[in-house]
Structure 1
Amino acid sequence: MPFATPSWDAQLFTVLNNDWRTPFLDVFMPLVSNSALLWGIAAVIALGAAFRSTPQGRRRILAGLLLVAATAGISDLSCGVVKDTFGRVRPLNALPSVHFVEHGQWTQRPAGFVQTKPRGASFVSAHAANSMAAVLAGCAVWPALRWLMLPLPLLIGWSRVYLGKHYPSDVIGGWLTGIAVALVVLQCLRMAQSALTKRRQA
């Protein structure tokens, strides 16, 4: 069930993808959007923290990482269902003059570019959803780090528009999906912990 792009969505996309371009962002945004790089950095930080921690602290770090990974995984599966349902074509395959990265190099669609793909995977942004879900799960485990983690989904969402992969509405939909998934996962975890506590007390 594809849908037309609202005017505000297209206008904001043009601002973020074209008007606000800088040489620094051309280098920075592909790095922010690289999931493998970000997960690798997070793993190195977590391993470093675990190395300096007590055995109990290591178990808590491992449990936290498993929770974050599981929440992101559930979010990714949810996004797949939404993408298949809507089939929205990505802006780089739908609009003229879009800037995007191809084979590691920035390029731009010609002014006369015409969409040929009938379906795509633009709505929702899995990058935005998964990062939001993972960060909210991480904030529940490590609340002291929330101010360090919370900007990450915002930067990733911006990068997806900057790279021509998504419309702003795709990113907003992704954030909302990630929030919903994280709330459900954390609520299920609280219920399981409560049930386990009651069993131990019985």
Structure 2
Amino acid sequence: MQDIDSGLYRGISDFAHDTPAWVQHLVEAWTEAGLLLFGVLFAAAWWRARRGGPYALAVAVLAPLATAVASVCSELVKSAVDEVRPCRAVAGAPASLMACPPHGDWSFPSNHASIAGAAAVALTLAWRGLARLAFPMALLMAYSRVFVGVHYPHDVLVGLLLGAAVAYAVVRLGARPMTHVAEALRASTTRPVRWFAGPGPAAPDRDTPQPRSARRD
């Protein structure tokens, strides 16, 4: 299995070196800047949730927190496995496009991929419409880490799955207690707190079933 993975790594690295310089620079920029774009999407999901119900606000607030928890879990696994980066370990592979991290900055799993997988799942739970953007972003982030030569394919695959699983668990387990927090925030008399929590829905959702007494005969 390690030989197969090393062969995939060499193949992707060879392909990366055959691409135009502008493609290489674009992927190098994406592998870091993509994380910032996820941050923008977290902010957009929170801003949208300010006018939603307490549960919607709770999930939007939990989304970046769940991603942070996934990042910590990834780092804990990484420190336990101690896998040497492929840019140091794979013989016959071209030089990595990015500077190879120093020895001790381990490879498995990819923390970038863990963050991306967690962000994609958490954002989708907060705002389903973001799935079409968040999941391709996560896959591209994972691939870019192999493309620039700092991770094996199995590093990013496990990273995506680990991040997604942790984020899903954190949001699902934390949604109910965080909903109570969201309700308390909206009931606060402190103006900055109420601004953060938002005004909530302006009117009942038309898709929400109404009590019989509220329906017209």
> Greater Rg, structure 1 or structure 2?
2
Give the Cα–Cα distance (whole angstroms) in 1 for the partners of residues 89 and 145 of structure 2. Answer: 15
Q: Deviations over 1:18-38 (max 9, x none)?
A: 13541243022112210xx33
Unmatched 5+ stretches in structure 2? 182-217
- On the 8 A contact 1:87/1:121 being kept in 2, the answer is yes
Q: Distance in 1 between matches of 2:44 and 2:171?
A: 26
7, 19, 33: which one aligns with 1:22: 19
Number of equivalenced pairs: 176
Displaced runs of 4+ in structure 1, greater than 4 A?
42-51, 57-65, 193-196
Report whether the alignment pairs 1:93 with 2:88.
yes
Contact 2:116 2:138 in 1 (8 A): yes
Stretches of structure 1 lacking an aligned partner (at least 5 in a row): 103-108, 110-115, 197-202
Change (3 A) 1:15 1:61: farther
Q: Percent identity?
A: 26
Report 1:138-177 matches (<5 A).
138-177=123-162
Cα 1:63–1:39 change in 2 (3 A) is farther
- Report if aligned partners of 2:66, 2:122 keep a CA contact under 8 Å in 1: yes
Give the conservation status (yes or no) of the 8 Å contact 2:45–2:60. no
Partner of 2:97, secondary structure, is strand
**In the TM superposition, what is the alpha-carbon distance from 1:170 to its structure 2 partner?**
0.5
1:64 to 1:39, Cα distance in 2 relative to 1, 3 A: farther
| TM-aligned CA deviation for residue 189 of structure 1 | 2.5
- TM-score, L = length of structure 1: 0.72
Deviation per CA, 1:95-154: give whole Å up to 9, x if none: 34232223xxxxxx9xxxxxx95x541000010011101110000011012111111111
User: Over the residues paired in the alignment, what is the CA RMSD in angstroms?
Assistant: 3.3
